[in-house]
Structure 1
Amino acid sequence: RTLAVDLNYGEAAIPFLAWARAAGCRDVVDGLGMLVEQAAASFELWHGLRPDTAPVYAALRDRDASLVTAD
């Protein structure tokens, strides 16, 4: 079982992730998760409180359908 990861997110990740799927990869992830989770980790270091990232993912997906995050 192969996982394809593109550190880009949104439309920039589409070509590679499409290629990976066409090559038989069932699990693909774009870089949105890394972006959001690094921001949450930084916020926690600065403020001592880790924000809930689920609403952030939901808001980002609502704004842009090309954001993949994970299958």
Structure 2
Amino acid sequence: MNCMESDREALIDFKNGLHDPANRLSSWKGSNCCHWRGISCENTTGAVIAVDLRNPHPTYNYNDESLDRIRLD
């Protein structure tokens, strides 16, 4: 299933407006945006139905004082 051309063009325009220093959108190339990381398409039409740009590697502050109060028992 290939994505719709209009959806691909809109995603490329969106990407071009972003600052992506970690290069997380590096998979956003080629003609089939349904194969790009973070993009979900409808199975029959190829229409983009979701864009997930969440950080797959969240950062944590382990010096947070609240961690001192966690009980693990």
Q: Normalized against structure 2, the TM-score is what? A: 0.33
Q: Normalized against structure 1, the TM-score is what? A: 0.34
Look at both structures and tell me which one has the larger radius of gyration over its CA atoms: 2
